[in-house]
Amino acid sequence: MKIDAIIELIETLRGEKGCPWDKIQTPQTILAYLLEETYELMDAVESADPAEICGELGDVLFHILFLVSLFREMGYFNIKDVVDLNVKKMIRRHPHVFGDDTIDSADEVKKRWYKIKMEEKNAASGDSILDSIPASLPALMRAYRISERAGRTGFDWEEISGVMEKVEEEWSELKTVLKKQKQSSIDQSQLALEFGDVLFTLVNVARFANIHPETALRDATNKFERRFRYMEKCIANGQRDIRWVSQKEKDALWEQAKNTID
What is the mean pLDDT for each group of 10 consecutive residues in the chain (262 residues)? 88 95 95 92 91 96 97 95 94 89 83 78 68 88 94 92 97 91 76 95 96 92 95 93 93 95 88
| CB-neighbour burial class of residue 82 (10 A; exposed 0-12, middle 13-18, buried 19+) | middle
State whether residue 94 is helix, strand or coil. Answer: coil
Query: Is there a single domain that holds both residue 207 and residue 179?
Result: yes
Is there a domain that residue 70 lies in? yes
Q: How far apart are CA 200 and CA 66, in angstroms?
A: 36
Query: Is there a single domain that holds both residue 149 and residue 170?
Result: yes
Specify the amino acid at residue 3: I
**Domain span at 168:** 143-211
Return the DSSP state at 131: T
Query: Is there a single domain that holds both residue 21 and residue 76?
Result: yes
Q: How far apart are CA 5 and CA 66, in angstroms?
A: 12
Q: Angle at Cα 69 formed by Cα 4 and Cα 118, nearest 5°?
A: 105
| C-alpha torsion 130→105→220→171, nearest 10 | -60
CB atoms within 10 A of CB 37: 19
Query: Is there a single domain that holds both residue 220 and residue 157?
Result: no
Q: Which residues of 38-57 are buried (b: 16+ CB within 10 A; e: fewer)?
A: eeebeebeeeeeeeebeebe
Q: Are 95 and 112 in contact (CB under 8 A)?
A: yes
State whether residue 262 is helix, strand or coil. Answer: coil
Angle between helices 27-47 and 50-73 (to 10 degrees): 170
Query: Is there a single domain that holds both residue 17 and residue 65?
Result: yes
Angle between helices 213-237 and 139-151 (to 10 degrees): 150
Q: Are 101 and 112 in contact (CB under 8 A)?
A: yes
Query: Is there a single domain that holds both residue 75 and residue 114?
Result: no
Query: Is there a single domain that holds both residue 65 and residue 11?
Result: yes
Q: How far apart are CA 93 and CA 87, in angstroms?
A: 10
Closest CA to 7 of 69, 86, 72, 81: 69
Specify the amino acid at residue 23: K
Query: Is there a single domain that holds both residue 31 and residue 78?
Result: yes
Query: Is there a single domain that holds both residue 102 and residue 29?
Result: no
Is there a domain that residue 167 lies in? yes
Query: Is there a single domain that holds both residue 201 and residue 224?
Result: no
Q: Are 116 and 93 in contact (CB under 8 A)?
A: yes
Query: Is there a single domain that holds both residue 80 and residue 10?
Result: yes
Q: What is the pLDDT of residue 207?
A: 95
CATH at 151: 1.10.287.1080
Domain count, the chain: 4
Look at the pTM and tell me if it is higher than 0.75.
no
Is there a domain that residue 78 lies in? yes
Is there a domain that residue 14 lies in? yes
Query: Is there a single domain that holds both residue 77 and residue 18?
Result: yes
Is there a domain that residue 133 lies in? no
Is there a domain that residue 194 lies in? yes
Is there a domain that residue 164 lies in? yes
Q: What is the pLDDT of residue 153?
A: 87
Is there a domain that residue 132 lies in? no
